[in-house]
Amino acid sequence: MTTGAIGVFDSGVGGLSVLHHIRRTLPDERLIYVADSGHVPYGDKTASYIEQRSIALTRFLLSQGAEAIVIACNTATAAAAATLRRDFQCPIIGMEPAVKPAVAASRSGVVGVLATTGTLESARFAALLERYGGEVEIVTQGCPGLVEQVERGELHSPKTRDLIARYTAPLLDRGADTLILGCTHYPFLAPLIREVVGEDVVLVDTGAAVARHLQHRLQTELPARIAGNASTQFWTSGDAAQAARIMSVLWGEGVNAKQLPPAFSGG
């Protein structure tokens, strides 16, 4: 029998939306979360830059006892998942915009995607569109600035509302009745998005599906392991005090965020 942790990383605090689902699905696990806030947002970075950050964060999480890694970031999944799976032997679980369930949910035949530029321009996303785009019309919208609003904890501010209204309007004008939240930061904006777009629009994110997939991978690939001690540790490559403040709001209880060691912070 072995014990270990599950490592989760994101460009910043958005991956906490996935961590919530993991905690609910696997309540007895030791979870380690890294917010790469010193390098946020990933959406405007090159794929090679994101790949190098993802490698560094994975190495850190493994050094802390992680036996499986969740890339709680759509942009990092697109840029680095293949490399991480090639270079590391543990289960690597990534994100992808929930195109398949959104297609199934749409009544109008038009699905909108809210995502970062990095996700929308990736080959991985292009493959998703090719696989499911024939069934419905898929309309995409890059959302510069939304990640930064979540990183600041501005979940309900007038500026955030204005950005959401600007980005959702073209999708609704095209007839979209289903919106994919294609970035792990965006579920924290779901209440405000709901206010802007109305009750009739379906909002889709993939956090719960990722948690279920992680559970399955652990059961099938690491059947001898036992869960950790039901704790959650938080790390950041940015300012620890600021990260702790925002994380506490998003996590729903007080968070003590530790500073990532210099060898992994990329500073």
Q: Is 153 left (phi over 0), alpha (psi -120 to 50) or beta?
A: left
Residue 71: beta bridge partners? 9
Residues with catalytic roles: 73, 183
- CATH classification of 99-204, choosing from 2.40.50.100, 3.30.565.10, 3.40.190.290, 3.40.50.1860? 3.40.50.1860
Residue with tokens 């109305």: 198
d(CA 85, CA 92): 6
CB atoms closer than 10 angstroms to residue 189: 27
DSSP code per residue over 203-239: EE--HHHHHHHHHHHHHHH-TTEE---S-EEEEESS-
β-strand pairing of 30-35 with 2-3: unpaired
| Cβ pair 6, 22 in contact under 8 A | yes
- The answer to whether the bond into 144 is cis (omega within 30° of 0) is no
Question: pTM (2 decimals)?
Answer: 0.94
Q: How many CA atoms within 13 Å lie on the side-chain side of 191?
A: 6
Q: How many CA atoms within 13 Å lie on the side-chain side of 156?
A: 4
Domains of the chain: which residue ranges? 2-95+207-265, 99-204
DSSP code per residue over 101-168: HHHHH-SSSEEEEEE-HHHHTSHHHHHHHHHHTTTSEEEEEE-TTHHHHHHTT-SS-HHHHHHHHHHH
What kind of fold does domain 2-95+207-265 have according to CATH?
Rossmann fold (3.40.50)
Beta carbons within 8 Å of 89's beta carbon, 6+ residues apart: none
d(CA 227, CA 61): 16
Residue pLDDT tens, the chain, 267 long = 346 899 999 999 999 999 999 999 999 999 999 999 999 999 889 999 999 999 999 999 999 999 999 999 999 999 999 999 999 999 999 998 889 899 999 999 999 999 998 899 998 899 988 888 788 999 999 999 999 999 999 999 999 999 999 999 999 999 999 999 999 999 999 999 999 999 999 999 999 999 999 999 999 999 888 776 899 999 999 999 999 999 999 999 999 999 999 999 986
d(CA 171, CA 103): 15
The pLDDT value given to residue 1: 39
d(CA 144, CA 41): 9
Q: Looking at the chain, how many residues does it have?
A: 267
The pLDDT value given to residue 267: 65
- What are φ and ψ of residue 14, in 5° steps? -60, -35
The pLDDT value given to residue 3: 62
